[in-house]
């Protein structure tokens, strides 16, 4: 998996979070405009881990700017992909566990952590299929997972369960699916993204914290 990731990505940063270096799929690569079948032929089944999505960028930026929110705490990065927000938390002294359904994403998260001189743990499973109590954490980070109505419908009550356990819940929200107002806006960002790490399309992204 490491060889696959290295073969299709370059190490780069995104403008909103220049402190974090990631393995990213770049426009210069032949797979940039590949069809799903072409990507799958190269072993890339939905390589969302190869992009720094807007919600993840904003959440990473917020964490870096508010290190008191994660320093010394146990952080769970949910649906982590390439783990830009998880790496940011680790850079600020958190003990990070990334959880994703895709084993390749978790390998990429580990490579990204190594690239930034930090460490993190990974779990390959569907976190929403497990009770909140089964995770040992103080802070839950969700970067750009509210992109689909069915996933969001499963995610929100699961996050509420974490909140009920006294955990801090932070969501990077790119506005794809409406989120209730009890997820209070604590930061607003313009995240440049059109799939290109150097893209010029600015997404209006909010970081939200679940309040009582």
Residues with Cβ within 8 Å of 25's Cβ and at least 6 positions away in sequence, in order, are: 8, 9, 31, 32, 47, 50, 51
Q: In angstroms, how far is CA 31 from the centroid of its own chain?
A: 22
Domains of the chain by start residue, with CATH: 2-210 (3.40.50.150)
pTM of the model: 0.92
DSSP secondary structure of 107-151: HHHHHHHHHTT---EEEES-GGGS-GGGS--SEEEEES--SSHHH
Cα distance between the two ends of the chain: 42
What residues does 173 pair with on adjacent strands?
A: 206
pLDDT tens, N- to C-terminus, the chain (212 residues): 899 899 889 999 999 999 999 999 877 666 666 666 766 776 666 678 988 999 999 999 999 999 999 999 999 999 999 999 999 999 999 999 999 999 999 999 999 999 999 999 999 999 999 999 999 999 999 998 998 999 999 999 999 999 999 999 999 999 989 999 999 999 999 997 765 555 567 889 999 999 96
Pairing of strands 95-100, 121-124: parallel
* CA dist 15 → 9, 70, 126 (Å): 17, 22, 31
CA distance 21 to 172: 19
Strand partners, 164: none
- Residue 212, pLDDT score: 67
pLDDT at 25: 84
Judging by DSSP bridges, how do beta strands 168-173 and 202-210 pair with one another? antiparallel
At residue 47, the pLDDT reads 79
Report yes or no: 94 and 103 within 8 Å, Cβ to Cβ: no
């Amino acid at each position: 998996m490491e060889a696959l990731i290295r073969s299709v990505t370059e190490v780069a940063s995104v403008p909103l979070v220049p402190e974090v270096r990631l393995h990213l799929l770049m426009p210069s690569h032949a797979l940039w405009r590949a069809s799903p079948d072409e990507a799958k032929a190269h072993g890339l089944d939905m390589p969302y881990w190869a992009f720094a999505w807007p919600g993840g960028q904003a959440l990473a930026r917020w964490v870096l700017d508010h290190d008191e929110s994660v320093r010394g705490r146990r952080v769970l990065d949910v649906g982590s992909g390439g783990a830009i927000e998880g790496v940011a938390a680790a850079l600020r002294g958190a003990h990070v566990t990334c959880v994703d359904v895709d084993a390749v994403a978790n390998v990429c998260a580990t490579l990204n952590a190594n690239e930034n001189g930090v460490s993190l743990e990974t779990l390959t499973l569907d976190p929403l299929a497990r009770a909140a109590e089964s995770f040992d954490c103080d802070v839950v980070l969700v970067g750009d997972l509210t992109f689909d109505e069915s996933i969001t419908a499963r995610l929100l009550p699961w996050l509420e369960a974490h909140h009920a356990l006294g955990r801090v819940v932070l969501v990077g929200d790119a506005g794809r699916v409406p989120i209730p107002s009890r997820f209070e806006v604590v930061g607003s960002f313009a995240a440049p993204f059109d799939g290109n790490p150097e893209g010029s399309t600015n997404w209006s992204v909010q970081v939200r914290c679940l309040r009582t």
